[in-house]
Structures are given as structure tokens and as C-alpha cells.
Amino acid sequence: MPNTKYLGDATKSNWVSSGQPVAFENSVLLTMAQGTVGTLLASTSYMWYGKVAATLKTSRTAGVVTAFILLSDVKDEIDFEFVGTDLGTAQSNYYFQGITNYNNEVNISVSDTFGTYHTYEIDWTPESITWSVDGVAHRTKKRSDTWNATSNQFHFPQTPARIQLSLWPAGLSSNGKGTVDWAGGLVDWNSPDIKNAGYFYAMVNEVNVQCYDPPAGAKISGKTSYIYDSTAGTNNTVETTDKPTVLKSQLGTGTNMDAGAPSGTASASAGVSTSEIPTVPGLTGGGTGSNGLRGGDSGSSGSSGSSESSAAPVATPESTGFHGFSQNPGSSTSSTLRSERLLQGSLLAALVAIVGMLMM
């Protein structure tokens, strides 16, 4: 379903899209024609820890980036990214609340990402993240190794996230030099793929999702949606509720879900211009996570001992066993950030027929 039509009811579609996905030979092409910012697919449901695997072929050529990521609404992020000039490397990465730390990236060697299907897997628990390729684990990051002494908290992805698959032009002259250099240079719009197919493309064959149970100590009062009960945006501020997620129109927001609803009067959406109409968060097609910043462009530094989160809540560095953890015990802040759709845990296994996303 196009993101401009999606109103928050995850029963209507498993995926929402921006750009132009194309069904091709039991796969989906993520396309990027000249003059566009590519294609992005996002799951309509969220997962709060679990295992997700995508079988895909990447795109190629300088400036062209393929991505398979988990991204939360507070910009916790776990990545596989593929630069089109390096078809022998999968970049593994993670971010905490969008804080840029280029030391988090680790390269994984893989053969011909453009010509060969590989299965890339992210296994995310409250205690660790493991990146695997074709069933072989190549990297594990422990939460206990992400402690930031300055902000006094773990810089570890910990909030409900959506699955995203994207193809985007990092190599645009309008992007920062660091991003362009990281992407291998400017996009060549006269490349063979553009001449022969009319667009760059990546091919997604299958996505397999297994959700884990909520972490120990999670606040559960329903099974429909996630909300944050504090602006801290950490795992202990997440609550599973029965609050609604469906907007009445594209003018709706998390704090005014009825905005723009038909009322029989001309003033139903008065004062709201079309430029203010929101779409699903993260579905602009113009890059992934951290606002697409890569390779040394300006952004908050997240290196250990830095001061990017001096106002962050106090954490308790516990790391014993497979369980939940607390970043902000005793928080009394009650402002709700937004409602989110829940993908229920309990070791749910879901094999997503990827072509089905185009049939909604």
C-alpha cells in the first residue's frame, strides 16, 4: 500500500511503500529512476526484539545504496547497508536514538551482492545484536559493551522498530561530501542499468520474521499498540496498550487522530494545508536512519565519553542473562509520544510472501 494511503491499520496491509516497487519473477524490485529518491518499503507492524531475515540482491554503481534495516520512531536503528561500488561487502551498523557514531560500523565480506541472492539476518535481543549472512554469524554486539559514561546509559537499540528495505541515491550533489564519499561518489545516471532497464534496482525475494516475547518487566496493559510514556524514549518507557492506531484521514496525528475526518462541514480540515499532510515516519525514500547522514557529515557524535546526551536519564549497567533492562528507573514523565502498531511476540514466526506487498 502506498504510504500516502496508509492510515495506521496494519490489518489492511503488511507493508507500505514510497517510490516505485515493481513485481518481477516472484520478487520485488526496489527501483530508482533518474530524478527520484528511490523506493522504500516498511512493515506496518513493529517488532520489539526478534529475528528478521531478508533474502535479496543489491543494486550497484557509485552513489547507489541498498539498505535492510530496523528503525524505531525514536531512531534506534540496526542496519545492513550495501554501497554500489563494493559488491563484496555488507556493512553492519547500529545507532542509539539517531546519534551518529561511525565507530559502530563493521564490514562483513560476502560474494557478489548484485548477482547472487544472499540471506541477511538480524537477531536482536535485549542483551545483544547478531548479524548473519547465509546462516553464518559474522558479528555480535553486546549491550553491555555499549555503555556511555558521559550520558550514563547504554547506547543500544531498544525500542519497537519497523522493518525497512530501501534503495536510495546517497551520491547526489545535494548530499554532504561525507555521504557522497561513503557511497562511492556521485550517481552515474548514464550507467548500463539506467540505459537497459530505465532505473537502478535491488531485488527482494523473501522476508522472514520471528518476534520474541516482550522483555522481562515490560509494561503491558493491552495488545494493540505501543506507546512511550516518557520523552526519554528508552525501553522502560515503552508500554503495550489497547490504544487505537488508525487515523481518520491523512491530516491526522498521534495527538489528533480525528483531524480531517468527514463532518459534513467545509471546516473539517480548515487551516491545514496539503503541505502539512504527514506520511508514515521514515517513509520519504531519501535515505535511511539518522536522516541519511553517513561518512563524516555533520551530526551528533556518539563516541564513548562524548557529551551528546548530557541530559539523558541515569542507567543501571546490568547484563546478567536474557531479560529486559532499565535505562530510567522511576521516571515520572507522562507525555505520550505516539501510538504504534504492535506485532505481538510469543515466538511468532511469520513468513512474508514479498510479492504480496504489491497486491494490497
| Residues 173 and 81: beta-carbon distance below 8 Å | no
- CA distances (Å), origin 197, targets 29, 34, 169: 11, 12, 17
User: Residues with Cβ < 8 Å from 264, sequence gap 6 or more?
Assistant: none
- Distance (Å, whole) CA 183 – CA 167: 12
For β-strands 219-220 and 238-241, DSSP reports them as parallel
- CA distances (Å), origin 114, targets 85, 194, 284, 292: 10, 15, 24, 22
How far apart, in Å, do the first and last CA atoms of the chain sit?
5
Q: Could you tell me how far CA 182 lies from the centroid of its own chain?
A: 20
Task: Write phi, then psi, for 355 (nearest 5 degrees).
Answer: -65, -25
CA angle 77, 115, 188 (to 5 degrees): 75
Q: Which residues are designated catalytic?
A: 77, 81
User: Residues with Cβ < 8 Å from 67, sequence gap 6 or more?
Assistant: 79, 80, 81, 82, 164, 165, 166, 167, 168, 288
User: Residues with Cβ < 8 Å from 24, sequence gap 6 or more?
Assistant: 203
DSSP for 185-249?
A: SS--TTSHHHHHHSSEEEEEEEEEEEEPPPPTT-EES-SSEEEESSTT-SGGGEEEE------SS
- Distance (Å, whole) CA 37 – CA 170: 9
- Distance (Å, whole) CA 107 – CA 118: 16
Nearest one of 333, 290, 335, 286 to 308, comparing CA atoms: 290
User: Counting every residue, how long is the chain?
Assistant: 360
